Structure 1
Amino acid sequence: MNYFSRLPLFVSLILTQIIQFPDLLLGQGLEIVHIEGVCAVPNLPKGFERFNYNEMTLEGRERGLRKIGEIKTFFTRKNVLEESGFVSLEAELVAVSDLVEIWVDITEWNIRVDQDDADQLVIAFELETPSGSIDPSKGILALEIEYFGLPPDVDGNGKVILLILDINDNYDEETNPSFVSGYFDQADQVSDTHPQTSGNVADILYLDSNPGNKRRDEVLSTASHELQHLINYNYDRNEDSWLNEGLSEYASKLAGYQGRGFGKFLSQTNRGLTVWDNLLQDYARTGLWMTYTSLRLGLDAIKQLVQDDAHGVGSAENVIKSFSPGTSFPEFVYEWTIANLLNDSAYGYKGIELPSIIPQNQYFQLPINGVPGSVHSYASSYHEFSGGTELEIFMDFFGRQDVKATIFTFSAATTVAPVVLDANGAANIELPGFGNEFSRAILMISYMDDALDSVSYFYSASGIGGYEVVELSNDDGETDFFIKSFDTPSVSVASLFNSINTPSSILSVKVFMGSNDPISIQIRDNGINSNFIFEKRNITPAINGWTEINLESSEIVVSAPTAVSITVADSIIIGYDEDSNGIGNAFIKTNNSFIALSNLTFNNGQSIDGTWMIRLLLRQDIEIDTTSNSETAIRGDDWIEFEYSDGVVTIPYTVATEGEVSLYLYDILGRTVQSWREEGQKSPGRQHQVFWNGKNAFGHTASSGIYFIRLMTQDDSAVKKLRFIK
């Protein structure tokens, strides 16, 4: 087998299915869309060197002088998704400019690809990019040369070849709707005289014609992504995948194409920045980091990242030192994880709206028993507290000092407070204003090192009260596909939630979108076509993931069936669950009023009786009765405070009825630390007491933290909290 058939490729895979139904009743245009996409990781095998243009013969250099209509043989992959070697194809040169040559497989020319397609590619690569581009007056190639660097120019003709073909990727419109929209092949960067290569000795980007010819923007976005890989290869062919892919993700957005969104990462943040497993979360994470880096350090920093001869973290360290002296890579990444949460003037993306982070854990009631976990290298996890009062958190990193804990509180102003760990890697975090001055706090746990893949932590929280969260949904949790509107200037869809019978406060709305085009949400509590009682605009959703829009501060109370509508100025791409019954709860707006989605059919007669991926989260307060008429109680203040240096602590108690008494001291995990069995009959109306010396049942000094004392009689019981400080 040809050794180069095992060369990994930069492959952009788009899992997409387009089924167009333009003739819905009432003229509503919708199509079904599946959205995914990954890119393979290229590494040239050791022992193979990039071909040197200066070593080419004069005859080889003259191959760069081409004429329109010329036919040339190219070698392409038998299957870009498998180790399958090469096949040859004949392609015709159909367009030439100063920077690019457009070649088209002769079996595709004037069938799926015509002269207009070729001319549009020349315009996109050399002359102009979309309005969202950093410079719409320049093409993709011109922009990337300016902001990243030069392609390798392995054949010395000063041009990049765009070869349009039906990429061999197992695509079938009915049975396998995923397709590879384009790729860059390292095999083209080695000498054609080498006995083990079938590369083409040229700077080539391969672009798909089937079904890519129908998806021009997606193919151009892919082309800008793959072009960065080609340029990066010129400067560092062994660049770490996380950095290389992050730069390519940024390249698409630099050129004004939507590319992938960031929601896949912001909903799963506990994943190391430098880890690369070719998952969608990896693209979202590295693309977001590169966006942050460009905004904080500038575009010259991005260019230096491409051209720096170190790899991965080494390159990032060099660039950060150059553009932000005194800031280390771990500090930079830590501040990035703060920016992902706050995105404000001090920590943020300078005007770019992000989907909100979805915390790893959310707590609405106190207390919280022990929570063990781990945080990965160069990552942060977020833990939100938003219910109850008297919040105090005990944090333990088991002796480690290289882990960071940070507390954020949210009121009129947001506070950011690093947590100081004691010598044992632990801390008690007191938030006395919680539940009064502010009602939301987030604990961020960060490990900004790569000595270990992850480090362990443990925390618990004490406090009183909170509320229950009720999540209302009409779907089964699985997005079967997206539905996209077209040929409409604006579109609204809505879900109706019928199970609201008592007054409830709206906490948030969740939506599952397929585009990050800004959306607006409306709340309607008096019928699907009633006026909305609340609206929030200009929300940037995650792509292909849940976006949660927090509405708690808006104080919206509903007490009857409530509708949530989503509006987009142009077209909407929203998740759809075809397996759930949407009759009576899924609606779409036509002719200025909402009608049931189930009243519509596609032009093939298929009914649309599923439901939208929209959810509503409600708050229901918990009433806490802190009074007790029982005489069975542990006396004293709300807390028993005990510092080990005091020697012992007295635990006073009374009982309601005469009898034997037992007391137990538990840690936050519910493990028994110490116990007392009071022999003899204890009389009511008198105060009794036991003593604790700070040691457990084995005679070892207990750890600092929060404990619970439980008093038990034959008929009654009582509990009190104890704070122990060594």
Structure 2
Amino acid sequence: MVKNIFQYLLFFSVGLLSAQLTRGTIQSGPIDYIDQLPEIPLCAVPGLTDSFIQNHMEKMKNEYPEIYRRMQIPPARKKAAQIGDLEKFWVMVDDGSGGTKSEEIVAELLAKGDHTAIWADTAEISNSTNISAALATSYIKLLEQETPAGSRNPSKGIYDLELEYFGSPPNYDGDGIVDFLFADIYSGAGGYFYPLDQTNQTGSNRRDIVYLDTQASVSYAQGTLSHELQHVIHYNYDQNETVQFNEGLSELATIICGGEYISHAHYLNQADKIGWNWDSDAAHYAMASLFSVYFVEQLGDGAIKEFIKLNAGTNPLRGLQAFDQLLRNHNIGQTHTEWLVDWFTANYLDNKSMNSKYGYDLWLPMRARYTAKHLSGNVESTGNTVQDYGSNYITYESSADSMEITFSATSSGTPYIRSIEYNDSSAVVNTLSNGVKHLVYHYKLDYDNDGVHDSLKVRSALFIVVNQESFSLKYDYVSTGTDASGWTGFEEIAHDDGELDLFTTSDGGEFGFLGWGNNSIGWGWGVKFDPKMAINQLVEIKIVIGFDQEFSGSTTPATADKDFNIHVWEILDDDGNIRDVMTPLYWSTQRASLTGDWTIIDMTPYKDELSNLGPIVVGVVEDDTVGTYFGMDHHVNDENYTYAFNYNDGGTLDELSQFTIGGESLSGWNYLFRTSFYIADNTVPHLTAGFMQNPVFTDELNLFIIGNSMLGSDYMTVTTKNAGYEEILDTHIMAGNDSILVTDNYQIHASGALDINVKGTMRYGRTNMDTTFTYNVNYILARVGGDIASRDGNYHIYMPENSLVEDGYVIVGNDDNSPATAKMRTALVDQIHSIYTVGPVGRDLEKGAKISIDMGTLDPETISIGYWDGDVWRELHSTLSADGRRMEAIGTHLGHYTLIPRGSGSPLAISEEDILPTEYTLYQNYPNPFNPETMIHYDLPKGGHVSLVIYDILGRELMHLVNQYQPAGRYNVLWDGNNAKGISAVSGVYFFRISSNGFFQTRKMVLSR
């Protein structure tokens, strides 16, 4: 059935950028993401500086003089306001031009407690979802009576908890009340405390007051109550606290009060890219929050008030200067630069059992994301950057045992390098010096006092690069070592070329992104991936993705959610039925716009569910009415890996190739999805080899190296030796089969031995292999004929004169394995002997060739020589050789021969002419020269007495090889290089002479010891 898709979007930038500017974070934790999280500051306090206030007032004076005049009038207020009272307040709102202005509103007192009061703009009460009389009452209860179960003391309200942990508010207006005003404040501000209100200056409301946005959710408003109250309290002790500590402690206040705080995943997911310098985004809020959580857990809850109240004489200490004083007060013996090293360590390890400084009591949604992960001990990495007061995390998942590593600063300033090295029983922490080689190697203590200090194998190592400067640093690192972890590879699977392609419709329209469009909840798309190796773990998903509101012409609000559900499916049958491999994951991003880059989704937290997978489909399913669109790529081979999910609510997968747009098929098109897997190959490696010989240019071969697991041209070196020529060959993986390595058009140089040596490992293996496959090569003149034997001496073929149509190379090897031999091996039900291959395979012989195979310990009464004709094994008429060691038969083709159980093959009809020669012939021995033995062949057209004698160069008889009656036929006799007494003949020239029925012929041969 052909299906039609109508939703697509134009996109004119077809090249993907190389930089990965956006990173998706998997949702987990207390409030992983606030769904309506603004793109700009959550709390406006960092921007409300003295210079901002001054510029704001100048703007009001110049652009809004009438309003400014009214702002100069002191506010009128009641001494003891009652619920239902109305009062006027100055708030900051949008000015319609992307800036702010002050506006006077009328607010109603909706609820009041002993220490707090809730006000709301009368124009917003009926329109907002986060403020009403009932909600105001619940806010007072939260502030003054009880907090959620996750707070430090649920029986206390926010106010009392902050009074206990942080201090007292200023009580500027003397009423003992902190007012919370709900209003439609300026865009991007979830709430704020305005220092101007603690003065009698123009525009001040002259009270202890906090502002909350009426556009936020109830849960967000609840968290903002505690966050902003901390700002009020902090101002009472330090009016100019640095933003990192002020915002960090406000987030800590929300945590202490059991509220919804910004997930630390915002920071941890990009910790290596975040410095101490402030940007008003979720990542920096999360960083400041986590820093505060860490120092309070390490120093105790009392450290909060202690820090806030630190003074130098009559002047407050603030920021890192105050923090250093706090550390001195607690006799820590560190400054903030040294403290950072432990904090960054805790962010990655989160393991207090290793060291109390290396973890948290608070649950973390994830560990800090690594900067680089290496599965090899041999690495050279240059041009790395670590941000101001920031960190990088470099992991070696392979065994780092005996690895040497050197870190070198390449800019002014030197980073601090800490290593954590894991052995079989513990973890060892070291400090590395800049530019000095560090050896990763552990010794056991001499517990039994026997003088022996055994080593402990280091399984993995983490290197934490810490910048203790207020500016960014650059560094390089180089390591040399082994590869010995559980994972032996990291594989990205891609069905695209990395560039977005434009689909052209029949009317000439073009687009690069495709999706279901808006209002398609529960529908989705997926792309199939096969990790191929049985031991694996899905660690990363990459997608080029866009949301409806990011495209021009969209009517979807820019603030709409950018999210979806991620599925990992197993296909159950050909009908597209599937099952979830793991619980679907909710994913969200707060990016500002479409970049065309890869969005990266870390799947490592779910390794227990995403390990040892077979073929899977990674799917994205709509969770709301906002359409999600995917970058498109046209596959060079027109292969389809992309599926539609739940089309017409069917709950199954349908191939994208079944769909059309504007009459044009989507066959061969795929979405830009990629997956990355850790791979381990525990296969005991085994290699075989084979060849395909050019039937015309017989000196040209295609060689095949076949493994029992995945191979890679970068992991193996193939070397050939032939007649003194040694070559390293270029190889590539065979299309459609990544267990076969191919080298094209190797050229034979001369007759003699051909060795193919293979060194290296499987693509994901650890075991080093060094295997040599041996062949014999002989250039045979058609008019003369000739013979060739296998390197093990067990197979021999003798071709009489004119049996070949033309001169050429003949090759023989045993147990050939190539794509063409798979059927042959399957058909050989009971393999009792090696299979010998003589090439060019399939070549017809004009005259029958004598085939001889050593039968070893097999019973000659139960075996025959078999020939593979391409479809079935043919059984040749076979006889026992005169010496009783070999089976002999006549073959009419070059190809595959072996010994088979008698009666197991189809009979092969051979003419009498092929079996019996028509004239007497003595052939040149083979090999020649030889050491220590050689074969002598001769033809008898009729029976008679045969004499075959060996003579030395002086004509003296050395050995009588044959002296008996023989019937007509083709014969070969082995001379072992000994005389009649069994003594080895010396090197030199020898002659062999045959006589039978009046026929005489002599040939020369050379023994070379």
Q: Does 1:202 align with 2:207?
A: yes
Aligned partner of 2:90 in structure 1 is 75
Aligned partner of 2:334 in structure 1 is 327
SS in 1 for 2:229: helix
Separation of aligned partners in 1, 2:589 and 2:285:
12
Separation of aligned partners in 2, 1:268 and 1:364:
21
1:321 shift after superposition: 2.5
Aligned partner of 1:301 in structure 2 is 303
Kept after mapping to 1: 8 A contact 2:389/2:471: no
Kept after mapping to 2: 8 A contact 1:71/1:90: yes
Kept after mapping to 2: 8 A contact 1:129/1:139: yes
Match of 1:395 among 407, 411, 423: 407
Separation of aligned partners in 2, 1:412 and 1:480:
51
Assess, with a 3 A threshold, how the Cα gap between structure 1 residues 399 and 262 changes in structure 2: closer, same or farther.
closer
Match of 1:467 among 470, 480, 489: 489
Aligned partner of 2:528 in structure 1 is 498
Q: Residue type matched to 1:264 in 2?
A: H
Q: Residue type matched to 1:578 in 2?
A: Y
Assess, with a 3 A threshold, how the Cα gap between structure 1 residues 127 and 185 changes in structure 2: closer, same or farther.
same
Separation of aligned partners in 2, 1:612 and 1:97:
57
Separation of aligned partners in 1, 2:339 and 2:586:
25
Separation of aligned partners in 2, 1:611 and 1:291:
42
Kept after mapping to 2: 8 A contact 1:242/1:273: no
1:494 shift after superposition: 10
Separation of aligned partners in 1, 2:110 and 2:610:
62
Assess, with a 3 A threshold, how the Cα gap between structure 1 residues 230 and 541 changes in structure 2: closer, same or farther.
farther
SS in 2 for 1:341: helix
1:200 shift after superposition: 0.5
- TM-score normalised to the size of structure 1? 0.63
SS in 2 for 1:287: helix
Deviations 1:101-145 (A, max 9, x none): 222222234454431122122112212222222222222222222
1:271 shift after superposition: 5.1
Paired positions, count: 544
SS in 1 for 2:317: coil
Separation of aligned partners in 1, 2:53 and 2:293:
35
Q: Residue type matched to 2:604 in 1?
A: I
Alignment of structure 1 residues 260-271 onto 2, 5 Å:
260-270=262-272
Kept after mapping to 1: 8 A contact 2:381/2:476: yes
Kept after mapping to 2: 8 A contact 1:404/1:418: no
Aligned partner of 1:441 in structure 2 is 461
Aligned partner of 1:167 in structure 2 is 185
Deviations 1:543-578 (A, max 9, x none): 868444257799933342356899xxxxx9999943
Separation of aligned partners in 2, 1:60 and 1:231:
23
Q: Residue type matched to 1:312 in 2?
A: G
Kept after mapping to 2: 8 A contact 1:224/1:252: yes
Alignment of structure 1 residues 370-389 onto 2, 5 Å:
370-387=381-398
Assess, with a 3 A threshold, how the Cα gap between structure 1 residues 302 and 65 changes in structure 2: closer, same or farther.
same
Sequence identity percentage: 22
Separation of aligned partners in 1, 2:625 and 2:720:
55
Separation of aligned partners in 1, 2:404 and 2:627:
42
Match of 2:170 among 116, 128, 152: 152
Match of 1:233 among 226, 230, 235: 235
Aligned partner of 1:415 in structure 2 is 427
Separation of aligned partners in 1, 2:331 and 2:514:
46
Kept after mapping to 2: 8 A contact 1:506/1:619: yes
1:201 shift after superposition: 0.4
Deviations 1:28-74 (A, max 9, x none): xxx986764523313235999xxxxxxxxxx9998431122222121
SS in 2 for 1:64: coil
Separation of aligned partners in 2, 1:494 and 1:131:
38
SS in 1 for 2:124: coil
* Greater alpha carbon shift after TM alignment, 329-338 vs 266-275: 266-275
Kept after mapping to 2: 8 A contact 1:263/1:546: no
SS in 1 for 2:604: strand
Aligned partner of 2:630 in structure 1 is 579
Q: Residue type matched to 1:201 in 2?
A: R
Kept after mapping to 2: 8 A contact 1:103/1:164: yes
1:506 shift after superposition: 2.7
SS in 1 for 2:347: helix
Separation of aligned partners in 2, 1:532 and 1:123:
43
Q: Does 1:549 align with 2:599?
A: no
Q: Which runs of 5+ in 2 are unaligned?
A: 1-33, 55-73, 311-315, 443-455, 501-511, 543-559, 591-599, 633-639, 657-669, 682-710, 727-1009
SS in 2 for 1:270: helix
Kept after mapping to 2: 8 A contact 1:496/1:561: no
Kept after mapping to 2: 8 A contact 1:469/1:620: no
Alignment of structure 1 residues 110-149 onto 2, 5 Å:
110-112=126-128, 113-149=131-167
Aligned partner of 2:79 in structure 1 is 64
Separation of aligned partners in 2, 1:264 and 1:354:
10
Kept after mapping to 2: 8 A contact 1:266/1:356: yes
SS in 2 for 1:419: strand
Deviations 1:176-196 (A, max 9, x none): xxx5332211111111xx4xx
1:230 shift after superposition: 1.4
Alignment of structure 1 residues 25-40 onto 2, 5 Å:
36=39, 38=41, 39-40=43-44
Separation of aligned partners in 1, 2:330 and 2:569:
46
1:427 shift after superposition: 1.7
Aligned partner of 1:617 in structure 2 is 677
SS in 1 for 2:436: strand
Aligned partner of 2:440 in structure 1 is 431
Q: Residue type matched to 1:184 in 2?
A: F
1:208 shift after superposition: 2.1
- TM-score normalised to the size of structure 2? 0.46
Aligned partner of 2:49 in structure 1 is 43
Q: Residue type matched to 1:380 in 2?
A: S
Q: Residue type matched to 2:346 in 1?
A: A
Which structure is larger by alpha-carbon Rg, 1 or 2?
Answer: 2
Aligned partner of 1:455 in structure 2 is 473
Assess, with a 3 A threshold, how the Cα gap between structure 1 residues 445 and 323 changes in structure 2: closer, same or farther.
same
Q: Does 1:558 align with 2:558?
A: no
Separation of aligned partners in 1, 2:359 and 2:341:
13
Assess, with a 3 A threshold, how the Cα gap between structure 1 residues 394 and 557 changes in structure 2: closer, same or farther.
same
1:79 shift after superposition: 2.9
1:629 shift after superposition: 7.8
Aligned partner of 1:313 in structure 2 is 320
Aligned partner of 1:105 in structure 2 is 121
Aligned partner of 2:108 in structure 1 is 92
Assess, with a 3 A threshold, how the Cα gap between structure 1 residues 154 and 71 changes in structure 2: closer, same or farther.
same
Cα RMSD between the aligned structures? 5.1
Q: Residue type matched to 1:331 in 2?
A: E
- Tell me which of the two structures has the higher relative contact order, counting C-alpha pairs closer than 8 angstroms and 6 or more residues apart: 1
Q: Residue type matched to 1:340 in 2?
A: N
